[in-house]
Homo-oligomer: A and B are copies of this chain.
Amino acid sequence: MPPQARPCHESGAPSETLAVDGQEAAVILERVRASVDPELRAALESLPGSLRRVALYHFGWEHADGTPAAGNAGKAIRPALVLTAAAALGGERARAAAVRAAVAVELVHNFTLLHDDVMDRDTTRRHRPTAWTVFGDADAILAGDALQALALRLLAEDPHPAAAPAAARLAACVVELCEGQHEDTAMQGLGPDEVTLDQVLVMAEAKTGALLGCACALGALYAGASTEDVGALDAFGREAGLAFQLIDDVIGIWGDPSRTGKPAGADLAARKKSLPVVAALTSGTAAAADLAELYAAPYAEADLARTALAVEEAGGRDWAQAQAADRMARAMGQLARAVPDPEAAGGLLSLAEFVTRRSA
């Protein structure tokens, strides 16, 4: 079976091959958590009291009252990309050396989540109230600031020769993430007819693709890969990241709330100009006009199903799924360039397919 994307199989039995792939990704992610969590936790424990509490809460290791929690720190996809890319290009030794970089990427990801939630006034993250709703804006901003500093400190203290270029690349990626978030918030203030599909694709690449690409590039750097291979792995991660965002946006409209941790249709209710929505709005169809009208009016609960239907009828859902498949194909091309051995590339392939098939 060719390494094609099969996005968003929320129902229907996956093929045996994909089932095995899904299991492989689950095994990879579990192993990544096992090697990353102790270092991640040690980094958070190094924070002074107040910031530590916010951080441990955000990562799901503490309840709001400071008592220990089971932990639900996300799927660790970004650290998994760092370690799996390192292993693909440099074997087990590179994988072991890259753990600190994997933790740094996860810290940066969570710093942006803490800040984005404040800016977007999002109240739920990973099925729990967001940090700012519990600790206030100031402490959520400060905890985010501290996580960015922790990430770059970890790399500055890493004697590995890849640590400095990795830190430079991660810092450059933070700037791109900020630009993506700026574009996202700026776009939310525009009318339904003022946003182009190109704009929103560029925004999604900066906001989501950049860090997934950076994670893969950091893994390649720790494997001592050539500049070309580092670039190819960055491109692999970016394309897979866009596929991931496309599917995430599909789930944001049609996903099962019990699995997404967000209320049904939350993105539509927030009038979010997500990728399927903008594709629908710019489709020139009758449904597009209907959708533009719905989006221009204040939110009404009764219109939620009608809004989702308009996005679908205007082709937003089909476009997003086809676009995700296309991005995945491009990602596979970049991966094959840097890691021609299918066995060595298997882990990254599994992760990319996992993130684009997930339904939560």
- Is the Cβ of A119 less than 8 Å from the Cβ of B146? no
> In the complex, are the beta carbons of A145 and B148 less than 8 A apart?
yes
* CB–CB B148/A156 < 8 A: no
Contacts A153-B171, A175-B149 hold; do A182 and B51 have CB atoms under 8 A apart?
A: yes
Cα-based distance from A156 to B152 in the complex (angstroms): 9
A141 engages B115 (CB within 8 Å): yes
Q: Is A167 an interface residue when CB atoms closer than 8 A count as contact?
A: yes
- Residues of chain B within 8 A (CB-CB) of A167 are 152-153, 156, 167
Binding site for B on A (CB under 8 A): 47-48, 50-51, 111, 115, 118-119, 137-139, 141-146, 148-150, 152-153, 155-157, 163-165, 167-168, 171-172, 174-176, 178-179, 181-183, 185-186
Most chain B CB inside 10 Å of its own CB: which residue of A142, A150, A168 = A142
Q: CA A162 – CA B150 in complex, angstroms?
A: 19
Q: Are A137 and B152 in contact (CB under 8 A)?
A: no
Query: Is B148's CB under 8 angstroms from A119's CB?
Result: no
Given A145-B148, A146-B179, A156-B164, 12 other A-B residues pairs in contact with their CB atoms under 8 A? A47-B175, A51-B175, A51-B179, A115-B141, A138-B181, A145-B174, A145-B178, A150-B171, A152-B152, A156-B156, A156-B167, A163-B164
Hey, which chain B residues are within 8 Å of A163, CB to CB?
164
Residue of B nearest to A176 (CB): B48
Tell me, rounded to whole Å, the shortest Cβ–Cβ distance linking A229 to chain B: 21
Output the least CB separation between A175 and chain B (Å). 5
Which residues of the partner chain B approach A153 to less than 8 Å between Cβ atoms? 167-168, 171-172, 175
CA distance A178 to B147 in the complex (A): 10
- Determine whether the beta carbon of A150 is less than 8 Å from that of B175: yes
A47 CA to B174 CA in the complex, in Å? 11
Residues on B with beta carbons closer than 8 Å to the beta carbon of A175: 47-48, 51, 146, 149-150, 153
Q: How far is the CA of A333 from the CA of B176 in the complex (A)?
A: 45
A178 to B144, CA, bound (A): 10
Which B residues are CB-close (under 8 A) to A183?
Answer: 50
> Of all chain B residues, which has the CB nearest A47?
B175
Q: B179, A48: Cβ atoms under 8 Å? A: yes
Contact (Cβ within 8 A) A146 B51: no
